[in-house]
Amino acid sequence: MTTNDLAGIAKAMVAPGRGILAADESTGTIEKRFKGISVESTEENRRAYRDMLFSTKGLGEFISGVILYDETLRQKSADGTPFAALLGGNGILPGIKVDAGTKDMAFCPGEKITEGLDGLAKRCAEYVKLGAKFAKWRAVITIGEGIPSAACITANAHALARYAAICQASGLVPIVEPEVLMDGDHGIERCEEVTERTLRETFAALASQRVVLEHMVLKPSMVISGKDCAKQAGVQEVAVRTLQTLKRAVPAAVPGIAFLSGGQSDELATAHLNAMNKIGRAPWALTFSYGRALQHPALTSWKGSAGNVAAAQRALHHRARMNGLATLGQYRAELEKDLGKAA
Ligand code: 13P
């Protein structure tokens, strides 16, 4: 596979049994995560944490790609191997977050716009040289009273499409991530309506910017009840509504859909993905691109100590395996007890 075989890379990212590990927390976000385990966010601690994740034996069986942050793509494993080469050696594609984060959107109170288009082509060219095969850009849509606004959805869809076109022209497969946040007390119906609207706008913008659908991966949120909603929809309802919404808005030419976890509990994120794959007959591969839902148990086992690396890697391997099974519709809650036997 050459650097520019975008169709091959996109297919490999969503291959059956495998999914993506999102480890592209910005310096600010990883600092927040480290605070939770009382670890100082120094460059060396960030490197050591990512080294622990990426050198997990057997990870490549379930993980097709890892999304890195700019700093991480330039860092090396303890033995001096650049992380991109370490991952590549384990059959894992290295990817890179290229957006510059979300900012308050002018005249749209409570809403965000993602920045980072200026100079993007130049940055992409450097990332290709550093070994990146794909990229990620996250847009955020907030549900609340009177929002999302049309202005916010349109502007974010446009930015996603401009980013995706620039990536493809540079030789990177774009992960297109329009995240509808689960914050709020809205019901699942409202999430469904906003998700459909957002996806329709996103694909209209992708078409207008001439993005090749076969050369991208969509990373959406699932259709779920707001975090603070008194009535939480069950696993089957989430699976049915999410699939229905995606079928209405996502062309079949897209090779795969890799969901974000968005603050769902580890096991629920796995169960939702599994239920969708059990329903089956979707025109695209359905997999994961989880950050928190994959890393959470590893992070809390690690706690910044070299002595905890083996336990943390076991925890990551386990979650990767559970989610790998969910991409095949073969996950069962009883398998959660396997932790400790694997890796
Ligand atoms: P979560 O799975 O923690 O939502 O993170 C995925 C991601 O990459 C967000 O941009």
pLDDT tens digits along 38-92: 999 999 999 999 999 999 999 999 999 999 999 999 999 999 999 999 999 999 9
Check if 290 has its Cβ closer than 6 Å to any atom of ligand 1. Answer: yes
Instruction: For the chain, give percent helix, strand, coil, nearest 5.
Output: 50, 15, 35
Distance 257 CA to ligand 1 centre (A): 14
292 lines ligand 1 (CB under 6 A): yes
- Is there a contact between 331 and 239 (Cβ–Cβ < 8 Å)? no
CA gap 164, 180 in Å, rounded: 19
User: What is the predicted pLDDT for the residue at 340?
Assistant: 57
CA–centroid distance, 128 to ligand 1, in Å, is: 23
Task: Count other C-beta atoms under 10 Å from residue 51's C-beta.
Answer: 19
The candidate with the shortest Cα–Cα distance to 240, out of 267, 276, 274, 271, is 276
- Cβ contact 201:242 at 8 Å: no
Is 97:105 a contact under the CB 8 Å cutoff? no
Q: What is the pLDDT of residues 213-236, one digit of tens each?
A: 999 999 999 999 999 999 999 999
| Residues classed as catalytic | 177, 219
Please state the pTM of the whole predicted model: 0.97
Q: Where are the beta strands (DSSP E) in 183-304?
A: 217-218, 256-259, 285-290
- Tell me what pLDDT residue 339 has: 82
Low-confidence ranges of the chain (pLDDT < 70): 1-4, 340-343
What pLDDT, on a 0 to 100 scale, did the predictor assign at position 341?
55
